[in-house]
Structure 1
Amino acid sequence: MYIQYTMDQLCLLLDLEEDILQSHVVRVVNAAVNQTNVSIFASAHPGGGRDQDAY
């Protein structure tokens, strides 16, 4: 239903891990997103949208 998200999907010439402080709130948000069980959205999402194999 959803396209898999990973922090490694960007192709940049810098290492974001080094530039973001360990205490920055973005790390908390990233951890929360990574731990979210996306199956809870299945009942609320009617389907449709972009085909995952289109790209």
Structure 2
Amino acid sequence: MKMPSAFPLLTETPGKIKWAGPKLGAFNKDIYQDLLGKTDEELMQLKEKKVI
């Protein structure tokens, strides 16, 4: 995946990207169950239907 580099480019202290962020869907359980109140069964149905 292409990502922008660290900016500005400094000669003495060059920046670097250490982490691109969480994987896609990493927080599905937190959002769908904890915030929206979906059950384990409902979550599985959404995964089976490829909604999430």
Give TM-score scaled by structure 1 length. 0.27
Q: Of Structure 1 and Structure 2, which has the larger fraction of its residues in helix? A: 1
Larger relative contact order (Cα-Cα within 8 Å, sequence gap ≥ 6): 1
In our comparison, the structure showing a higher alpha carbon Rg is 2
Give TM-score scaled by structure 2 length. 0.28
